[in-house]
Amino acid sequence: MQLYLQHREGEVSDQTLQSHRYRIEPFVEWCESEGIFNLNDLTGRNLHSYRVYRREEDDLKPVTLQGQLSTLRVFLKFCASVDAVPEGLREKILLPKVAPENQASKTTLEPDRADQILEYLETYKFAGRSHVLMTLLWKTGVRMGSIRAIDLADFDFSEPAVEIVHRPEQDTPLKNQERGERWVALRSYTADLIEKYIKGPRIDGRDEYDREPLLTTPQGRVSRSCIRDTVYVLTRPCKYGECPHEGYDPETCEATDRTFASKCPSSRSPHDVRSGAITSHLLDEVPVEVVSGRMDVTQSVLDRHYDRRSEREKMEQRRKFIND
């Protein structure tokens, strides 16, 4: 496993590498528990036993099991290349079949809720860090890591636009590395909001690499966990309106505590905001090619994981291009 991770280092982002470690470690632990200490002894029967074990003992959903076994296949392909397992052994791992509609998460942030949140922030938290964060996430649809990577020097307010840059050696990598680097156009309102934040509430400071990040805390550049927690807090309905959940009392609900905001059934993650933003762009009839380039996502992945338009919404959009 260590050889594999060292081999992939530099090829994939740190987050992807960490994900691969997370998916392979249970297999390593299972091998140890079964007395398998040399992968040359591994057989197809062993792999099937592991598949059953993960499905039944760890109670994994089919889509989760599929993802973990797919990574194990990639790992075994590498193992075969260094003579650690027989060639072709990875093909003996049978992946569970998952219906297309179950392959992607269905949670997303709907446009009307996004509008409510942004209206609340404009009224009560204008030009604050959370206002700028949520506006950028919703208006640009970029990933959480891309937002975190933005420096003051990356802005061109005359356009207006912001450059997304891959700087892995300075703790701000992009998921798709250099391929994810691009300029993202901003609307005038978004650019004005960012300028007001920079001149006002933003905490002036530099990170450990002497860079000036856009989003800051007293400790320096905002962390991923801080971004994630902020989005969970802002997307709770009780933050900007009434609680819609029967049996939940905001006076006693643990999700009203910032630490447990993610436990609210209606709270959403930064990834959900991204999928909602992509869907909103598509509903506004922004061409798929434009959405793909702006948000750094291939059209096939966009269709499978991010487009939350209903079939009827797609039909109504097609109708506009069909003559009687």
pLDDT at 309 over 80: no
Task: Report, as an integer, the average pLDDT of 13-17.
Answer: 77
Phi-psi group of 83: left, alpha or beta (phi > 0 → left; psi -120 to 50 → alpha; rest → beta)? left
At residue 184, the pLDDT reads 94
At residue 48, the pLDDT reads 92
3 state DSSP class of 252? coil
In the chain, CATH 1.10.443.10 covers 111-271
According to the per-residue pLDDT averaged within each range, which of 6-10, 101-105, 267-271 is highest?
Answer: 267-271
pLDDT at 155 over 90: yes
Q: How many residues does the chain have?
A: 324
Torsion of CA 196, 201, 202, 205, to 10 degrees: 130
Task: Report, as an integer, the average pLDDT of 294-307.
Answer: 78
Instruction: Look at 50 and 11; give whichever has higher pLDDT.
Output: 50
Domain at 111-271, CATH class: mainly alpha
253-264 tens-digit pLDDT: 888 888 889 888
Closest CA to 180 of 170, 166, 167, 169: 166
* Mean pLDDT of all residues belonging to the chain: 87
Task: Report, as an integer, the average pLDDT of 82-106.
Answer: 75
Domain at 2-102, CATH class: mainly alpha
Residue 186 structure tokens? 């901003």
Which amino acid is residue 276, in one-letter code?
A: G
Cα 50 off chain centre by? 29
Return the beta strands (E) in the chain as ranges.
Answer: 155-156, 161-164, 182-185, 216-217, 220-221
pLDDT at 322 over 90: no
When pLDDT is cut at 50, 70 and 90, the band that residue 103 belongs to is: very low
Percent of the chain at pLDDT above 70?
A: 93
At residue 321, the pLDDT reads 64
Residue 110 structure tokens? 């709907």
Other C-beta atoms lying within 10 Å of the C-beta of residue 103: 13
pLDDT at 59 over 80: no
Note the pTM of the prediction, 2 decimals.
Answer: 0.69
pLDDT at 28 over 90: yes
In the chain, CATH 1.10.150.130 covers 2-102
Task: Report, as an integer, the average pLDDT of 281-292.
Answer: 84
Other C-beta atoms lying within 10 Å of the C-beta of residue 145: 20
Closest CA to 303 of 315, 285, 291, 319: 291
pLDDT at 9 over 60: yes
